[in-house]
Structure 1
Amino acid sequence: MSNAGGALFLDRDGTINVEREYLSDPQQLELLPDAAAAIAAANQAKVPVIVVTNQSGVARGMFPESRIAQVHRRLDELLAQQGAAIDAYYYCPHHPKSASAVYRVNCQCRKPRAGMLFAAAAELGIDLRESVVIGDKASDLGLGPAAECQTILVRTGYGRETEQQLPAAVPSLIGRFDTLLPAVEYWLHSRLERSISAA
């Protein structure tokens, strides 16, 4: 996959699916109401959709790393039922205070550090400057300055709480929306306008 036009990077819990603390049971996965439609819109626009998620439950000993793949398979199934698909998943299982030496890492992939985005850019040929990150937490918005991409806040999950705590000016933040679909539609429209202006 190579996409010089950028990608749609999505947080997982609280953005695509209902927030459940340290989700590890695939059967507890529940899509937010318009998440599949939002992802399908990006699919139709031929924009890569990439999930970037912190999964510190692994480092905290709450579930094995293999559970992440199981949850993502279930997410793929639920999205496919509504004609939507994720192109790639990136996750960070680390935490600097983990009891496990394997996961007790001061890593570059735990959001708001941008290691997952840099990996996706290198592996999938994505231009981060033409990309957007959409999520409900400050750690998602922090990826904007870290990766020189745009960000959008959604008010699902922890989004409303995050919004109340934001400073007046947030670098790279281009919008705030109640749910994922209008956020994605806004970005796709602005992306199209930029391409027309550049033509």
Structure 2
Amino acid sequence: MNQPLDQKRKAAFLDRDGVINIDHGYVSSPEQFEFIDGVFDACRHLQQQGYLLIVVTNQSGIGRGYYTEQQFYALTDWMKAQFALHCVTLTDVFFCPHHPVNAKPPYQTNCNCRKPAPGMLLQAIEKYQIDPGQSLMLGDKKADMQAAKAAGVKRKILVLSGQSLTEEDKASADEIWPSVKAALTAV
């Protein structure tokens, strides 16, 4: 899609675990990866509406030593291929392998990329010339909403993925959807 040089793009930022796939905890292989029902249709719809699809995912399992960056990259390549089979292009995947406490060096750090910090979103905004005021964030945790707010993302959508959310969690979002599938009618 060609954009005029002075026009910024819009993006749909997607958390991975709990939005794209069922969060089984530290998912690191295709065998553990279970796509959420309707995610391909929803993402195709967002793409057709002109959104770049950008995954922003905390992956402290790397820092904790549960799996390696190479395993994460292999799973990401597989995931992107599954989307491509459904005529959906994931523009990019940004990830944070860090944790401030529960990680091993060099991953044990208080970084600016681990959500709720906005670092991954800000990197994507700069790299792809994204207008956060036209963009949205789909996440399943308060930290996703906080990162989006800090990055200036206009529309913060909390998807209910089975985990229990407090009223405070829900209050951090602009909208609450039963799942990513709601994009078909809400965007």
TM over 0.5: yes
Residue 170 of structure 1: how far off its partner (Å): 2.8
1:77 and 2:81 aligned: yes
**For 2:61 and 2:183, how far apart are their aligned partners in 1?**
28
**For 2:21 and 2:113, how far apart are their aligned partners in 1?**
21
Residue 27 of structure 1: how far off its partner (Å): 2.4
**For 2:103 and 2:51, how far apart are their aligned partners in 1?**
39
**For 2:139 and 2:170, how far apart are their aligned partners in 1?**
17
Distance 1:169 1:43, change over 3 A: closer
Q: Deviations over 1:92-129 (max 9, x none)?
A: 00011245321111100000100001100111100112
1:6 and 2:7 aligned: no
Residue identity (%) = 32
CA contact (8 A) 2:9 2:129 kept: no
Match of 1:154 among 146, 151, 159: 159
Runs of 4 or more off by more than 3 Å in structure 1? none
Match of 2:25 among 2, 21, 26: 21
Residue 179 of structure 1: how far off its partner (Å): 1.2
**For 1:125 and 1:94, how far apart are their aligned partners in 2?**
26
Paired letter, 1:43: Q
Residue 69 of structure 1: how far off its partner (Å): 1.0
**For 1:182 and 1:139, how far apart are their aligned partners in 2?**
21
Residue 157 of structure 1: how far off its partner (Å): 4.5
Distance 1:166 1:24, change over 3 A: same
1:36 and 2:37 aligned: no
1:181 and 2:181 aligned: yes
Distance 1:87 1:184, change over 3 A: farther
Residue 168 of structure 1: how far off its partner (Å): 8.7
Query: Which residue does the alignment assign to 1:166?
Result: 167
- Secondary structure at the residue paired with 1:8? strand
Match of 1:141 among 139, 145, 163: 145
Over the residues paired in the alignment, what is the CA RMSD in angstroms? 2.0
Residue 85 of structure 1: how far off its partner (Å): 2.1
Deviates more, 1:2-11 or 1:113-122: 2-11
Paired letter, 1:133: M
Q: Deviations over 1:57-86 (max 9, x none)?
A: 011111111111111111112222222221
Aligned length: 182
Query: Which residue does the alignment assign to 2:107?
Result: 103
Q: Deviations over 1:174-195 (max 9, x none)?
A: 2111110213641x3xxxxxxx
Query: Which residue does the alignment assign to 1:192?
Result: none
Deviates more, 1:106-115 or 1:128-137: 128-137
Match of 2:123 among 106, 119, 125: 119
With the length of structure 2 as denominator, give the TM-score of the two structures: 0.89
CA contact (8 A) 2:145 2:158 kept: yes
With the length of structure 1 as denominator, give the TM-score of the two structures: 0.84
